Structures are given as structure tokens and as C-alpha cells.
Amino acid sequence: MKADLSRDTFRKKKHYSSVRMQQGRIQVDADWNEQLDIIGHRTNTETRDVIGPCGAPLASAGFHSVAAVADLSAEDQSREENQHAAPLSGTGDFYISAGRLYVDGSLCENEHIVPYSAQPHLPSPPMVDSAGIYVAYLDVWQRHVTALEDDAIREKALNGVDTATRTQTLWQVRWLRAGDVGDAISCLTDIAAYDTAIAAPTGTLAARVQPGGTPSDPCIVPSSAGYRRLENQLYRVEVHDDGNRGSATFKWSRENGTVVAHWESQDVDQITVSSSGRDTTLGFNSGDWVELIDDERELLKLPGTLVRLLSVSDNVLTLETATATGTISMADFQTHPKVRRWDSAGAIKPGNGNWFDLEDGVQVQLGSGSFRNGDYWLIPARQNTGEVEWPRDESSGDPALRAPAGIEHGYCRLAVMTHDGSSWTEIEDCRPLFPAVTELKQLFYVSGDGQEALPNSELDKALQVGVSNGQHPVAGARVRFTRVDGDGSLLPGSGIEESGSASERIVITGSDGIAECRWRLGAPSGLRTQRVEAVLLDVIDTPRHLPIRFNASLSLAGHVYYDGDHCAPLASADTVQAAIDTLAQQAAISAWQGDGQGAEPGTPLPHPLQVVISNACGPIANAEVSFQPDANGLVATTLAGLAGATPGAEITVITNANGVAEVFWQLDPDTSLPCQRLR
């Protein structure tokens, strides 16, 4: 941050938990700022450990990317902050819903649903204008804000005196093309372009003071050795143009870039600023290099225009236009334009890996890797020690190559979006969502599923579910058991019931977190499997968890396997029921009456002969029964019919409703047959 700081002392490896003030001691900015950094580190680390790299709370999740407000859930649409949305600006635009989301421990808030094109911290964002699959993601970083960017920071009663500054959590929704329509790309797909876009810069920098030569007199310190200025300074080395060690450019300031003023007006090459500085040391002077910049360029991660001052007269700065690295027109700096002094001679390239002189004995060295605009290093230089405060490499003892002090960016993948060239056709939400810690009660299956019993019989085991918060059982939770299928009955279990009926019971969990009820199955009624559902209820009977379902089977012969391979008559039966039915349908014939009668040869028996056809299920009607007499006997269905019967002929009779077949029998006239039979 470009604040008037003495130094930045927070080092997380020291594991300091607080800063303690002492009575009668000097108060310095670094102590107060370190305390804030300690708290911020703790808060961000704790949040990241609990939530993960990024996530949104279920109850107030924000940053949902949708093509239309109607694509939000009904609950999200009902929220006031997601209503009265501004219109989209084109077919490549989309909405960003209101709410909260955490990225790398930082809280990101969007107070009202907003089109991507009108988001607050990314001016004139690029629009999707061709078919493809795109990844929308959130870029989050901490921005330093002074009274130049937010006038409300300034205390007007102090008549313009500067006070404290602010850091702002700034979020930007960005997108990149991930592939063509039809490619198999989802939220879980590794996307090389995305990995490249979010990769942190790898460039490093080391700092030291200029070492002296070996003097002839050990009591004499070489005049060129160490830090030689009379003031204590906080040097800032900042990347101006992106690139690697050989192509990136840098600028530096001995005042941490704090010599800055509001750009108020322009007359050709003369610009008027709000102040030319407190004095010649902390102000603008002829020959200084300044940067013309505004909020838009900072938000877009673009460098400003570096230009040298030709002269300074009060608050009017005359630019040496030939030295400008870009536009100097105030019309191109619309949002909080400002002029910042740098102490380097414009943008420099220190970049071959050798030590590079800044000034008065302060030297820097670049490591290999990539460098990103806006990233910076802070180098405190102290007059009384003649040294800069910079860590040493633990193995070599040389000045350590360090990653930038900032700006740190965090990222969260929001959505994978498919565009057909004219509209969004599919948007997959990638946001990880989490419940509040007070909503982590879970309902678990314990026992009782998958049992079997006879119809209208009670299951052997009770139906049991458990409620816990983490590993701890929850007593007093309300669980509702509901009969879903069949006409069985729910019966009280061993616990406490709030209410109960045959179809529904509300049970209170005990100290072990268990709720139970018993279940008597109903009649088959076409259903072999019957079901009961258990849900966790809140105090107003709203289900708070996915249901748990218990299934039970009726013990029916038609669903028990039968192996008929060893019994030919039952080979076609594959269930016990089919085998029983086959056996039960085996017909049997038995004499009912008329057997054992006597008569003269050639005369009818006095009573008709009757047989019964039946099986295990009872008499069989309409069965065919054949009757055939021995020799020349006669049979007929009526006594009168014997006169026309053919001797020895077989006749067929159909059984009546009682399974009875009846015939009359006239014996053979042959007197030599003492006994005659009818088959």
C-alpha cells in the first residue's frame, strides 16, 4: 500500500499473536499496523481453514452467475437485493446475484444484483461475443484507499490535514474462453488457460546496501559503503510493465509512493494539482518523474503514464511532453485522476540479475521469473545503522530473494458458461456452498431397513434413526415417521413421543440421539414392498434434512424361489407359490356312490354310479370323465338312455358344479361272469 509508513513489520513466521503497548513509550505506526495484520492473518487463516479456498453461505450466497433473474432459485428471487435488476447490455452479458462469498479467507459482498457489464470494480469489462465455453471467476484483492480516492475518509474539521488510510476488499468478475461448444468441460475440469490466468507471478527481488572495498586502515569506513542518506526512508520498488526479468520495467520511490496529489485541471502541457507537496523533499520539483493515473487504470491493472516535470510553479506542474510514455490528456483519466511522484528516472530495467543501484548505497537484484504490474517490494533504510532491513538467506547468508509484498490475489471459479453466439444456453454453477454451523445437525440411518414379515405382522426390529451434530448425539430433536406405502400401522417405540397415529408419529430423540418406532406391515393389496419415511423437523414442522426411507417386504410365497429341476411335474414352477399352485391343481378322481351293487345279468343296477373330480382347492366342475363297461355292458347318463346304448362302448360325462359325474350301468347278460367292472 502506498501509505506514509515507517516500515512493514508483520512476519507470519514469527507467530506473534498480539502487539503490547507499554507506558511512557513512543507510539509508531508499524506497531499499530502489525496488530491489524496479526488479526487479519488470524481471521483469514481461520476462515480459509473452515470454508476452504472459496465458498458461499447457503442462506445468503452471492455471485451466482445467471442469464436471467428467473434462473435464480425461488428463494433467491424473493430477496429484496435480487429484485429490480438493471437490464443487461447485450447477449454476452449476465447477472451477478447479491450476497456473500469468501475467497482465500476474504469476505466478498455484493449488495445488489448487478449485470456483469456494470459491476462496481471492473470498468468497461470485455464482453463475450462468440460461441464457446467460458469460465467465469472471481478475482479478489486488497486495494489501498486514501482520501484522494474516497473523500469521506478525510476529517473536514481538520482543514485538509491527512489522517489514516483504508484497505478495501475489491472483487472483480472476469471470464476466459475454455473451449468450443460441445467440449466436455465442467466445474471440475482442469483448464490450462484458467490455471495460467490465476497463476501468481514468480519473480523475486533482493535488496542490500552497497558493500565497501577493503580499506587500508581498518578504522576507516569507506565513504561508498552502506546507506548514505541522512533520512530514514521506506523504499518502494514497483513493477510498471509486466514481463520477465529481461523485459519488465520498474519504478521506485524513497517515500513509498506517497508524494501524490489530486489532478484538478489541465491546460495543454500544464496540469493543476491539489497540492505541490509539504516541502521540496515531500513535494513536486522540476526534473521529477511523475505518473498520471486514475482509478480505472488501477482497477484494470494497467500502468499510468510516466512523464518528467519541466517546471513547478505553486500547484501548476508543466510536463515535458516528449518524455511521456502514454497519453497525458486529462480526458483519458476520468475517475479520481492523480499525479504521483517517483524517484526513479522513469521506468527502469534493472534486469540482468546483477545488483542495481537505486541511490545512496541502496541496491536491488532481480531473480528470474515473471513480474506483474502493481506488485511491489518495501525496503526500509535506516540512517543510524547505514543498513536496509532485509532478510538473509539461511544457508548462504546473502540477501534473500523474496516474492512481492503485494498485491496478493485470490480466485474462485464461479461458473462454466456455454454461449452459442447469440445467447447463453447453459450455465453450470461452480460455487461451493456451505451451511451455517448452527445448521449442521444431521439425520442418519441406524437400524430397521430391509426386513421381511408376514402380512399384518410386526417387524422384528424397530425403525431407528439418529440425530447428531458432528460426532455428538443431539437429544430433544423431533423426528417424524410417516407411512408412505401400504396400510400397515406405526406403533410406539421405546422413546418419547410428541404425537402419534397409525400413519404418522413424531418422536423425540433421547440422550443417545436415537428416535425409533415399530412397524406392523399391512395386507398385500398388490404391494409386496411397503415403505416408511423419517424426516428431521424444526420447531415449526419444516423438514431440515433429506428423508431416510425404510423398506420392508411381505413374506409371500410368490416371491420365494423354488428349484423344480428334480421334479418333472413342477419343472416349470420358479416360485414356491407356483409350485403350490401346480400341486393344488392336480385333479383326483374318487368314487362317490354306486360301487359294490348287485343285479341280474343283463339288467341295470338299482342306483347310478357317481364319481367326484377334485383337487386341493375343491371339486372341479366341467371336467371330462370317461366311463367304459366290461364286455357288453351298457352305460348311459340316464336310465332310459340304456335302451339305445352300444354294448361295451365308452362314454364321456361332464362333471356338474359339485364335481360329480353320474352314469347308469346295465350289466352284461353273460351269466358266466360272476363279477363285472366299469372303468
Over residues 611-640, the pLDDT tens digits come to 998 887 889 899 899 999 988 889 998 988
Cα–Cα distances in angstroms (integers) from residue 80 to residues 77, 117, 254, in the given order = 8, 21, 49
CA 514 – CA 294 distance, rounded (Å): 63
pLDDT tens digits along 215-231:
556 565 566 679 999 99
Does residue 33 register a pLDDT over 80?
Answer: yes
Does residue 372 register a pLDDT over 60?
Answer: yes
Mean pLDDT (the chain, rounded): 93
pLDDT at 80: 97
The sign of the torsion formed by the CA atoms of 267, 273, 279, 282 equals: negative
Does residue 557 register a pLDDT over 70?
Answer: no
Residue with cell 484458467: 194
pLDDT at 442: 93
pLDDT at 216: 59
pLDDT tens digits along 571-601:
777 667 777 777 777 888 888 888 888 888 8
DSSP 8-state assignment for residue 201: P
Does residue 438 register a pLDDT over 60?
Answer: yes
CA 657 – CA 660 distance, rounded (Å): 7
pTM score: 0.77
Q: Contact at 8 Å (CB) between 276 and 318?
A: no
Q: Is 415 helix (H, G, I), strand (E, B) or coil?
A: strand
The set of cell numbers assigned to 257 is 509512493
The set of cell numbers assigned to 121 is 470494480
pLDDT tens digits along 455-491:
999 999 999 999 999 889 999 999 999 999 988 999 9
How long, in residues, is the chain? 679
The set of cell numbers assigned to 93 is 452479458
Q: How confident is the model at residue 558 (pLDDT cuts 50, 70, 90)?
A: low
- Span(s) in the chain for CATH 2.60.40.10: 439-555
Greater model confidence, 569 or 500: 500
pLDDT at 561: 67
> Apex CA 524: angle with CA 522 and CA 530, to 5°?
60
Cα–Cα distances in angstroms (integers) from residue 565 to residues 81, 438, 572, in the given order = 73, 62, 9
Consecutive H or E run containing 46: helix 29-51
pLDDT at 670: 84
Q: How far is CA 541 from the centre of its chain?
A: 27
The lowest-confidence range among 128-142, 212-226, 233-247, 473-487 is 212-226
Percent of the chain with pLDDT over 90: 77
Query: CATH assignment of 439-555, given 2.60.40.10, 3.40.190.10, 3.40.1280.10, 2.60.40.1120?
Result: 2.60.40.10
Phi, psi torsion values for 251, nearest 5 degrees: -135, 155
pLDDT at 559: 63
pLDDT at 218: 59
Mean pLDDT calculated for residue range 637-656: 89
